[in-house]
Homo-oligomer: A and B are copies of this chain.
Amino acid sequence: MIQIFPIAGIPEVEEGADVASLILEAVASSDLELQTGDVLVVTHKVVSKAEGRFIEASDEQSYRKAVESEARAILRRRGDLVITQTHHGFICANAGVDRSNVPGERAVLLPVDPDRSAHMIRMKIQQGVGIDIPVVISDTFGRPWRRGQTDVAIGISGLEAISDHRGQPDAEGRTMEATEVAIVDEIAAAADLAMGKAARVPAAIIRGVDWRHGSARATDLVRPPQEDMFR
């Protein structure tokens, strides 16, 4: 059985805040506890806010300017929608620049290095509770051919990104074909079900997933250009 616990009670995050401590405090004042085998999922927005990744976006023009400067490449444009590749390599709308749930006339950018942000949170959690808990930092991305958005992993620490079943025997004893599960993306999507969008629940604990220790980065999930048929 898998369980997903939303972590409520995290206050609005300001620049300079210690996200790991805020999470540990919220966990301590709830009836939750972190256990070995858990994965901690944190939405990128609180991480970006803590890292001071704000930009002035009082009007459409300044927002557009922020999107352009956050984009390494522009794949498509249609009206106000720009499909971009970010400096990290992720392909998403508007270079991840986000105005929702941000106080004031500002927008929030993606963390500079979300894998490093995940690593820092993981280290602080380990210092705080003495358990090594893998961390997944999530964002909400659209998909080219399917309506609606799902949460995916943009930063990870402490686990493998892909659960690789290639070459394993299937239930028929035959070798399984292309089956590389993007397990950290499924973890991010599952956590989103517990967090909701409008409520201020920026983190969740997911328990019971068959993940593996590893040192993968979320940027490992970016399909290299030579494999990419849709850029």
List residues of chain A with CB under 8 Å of any chain B CB. Answer: 1-6, 75-76, 78, 83, 90-91, 93, 99-103, 140, 142-152, 161-163, 165, 168-172, 174, 176-183, 185-187, 189-190, 192-194, 196-200, 208-210, 220-223, 227-231
Contact = CB atoms under 8 A, between A and B. Distances in A.
A167 to B, nearest CB: 11
- 9 closest pairs, A vs B, by CB? A148-B182, A190-B190, A144-B230, A189-B189, A2-B4, A91-B145, A186-B189, A76-B229, A171-B200
Contacts of A1: 3-6, 194
Contacts of A222: 145-147
A106 to B, nearest CB: 11
A198 B148 contact: no
A3 B2 contact: yes
Given A1-B194, A147-B222, A183-B193, 4 more contacts: A100-B172, A145-B231, A147-B161, A147-B221
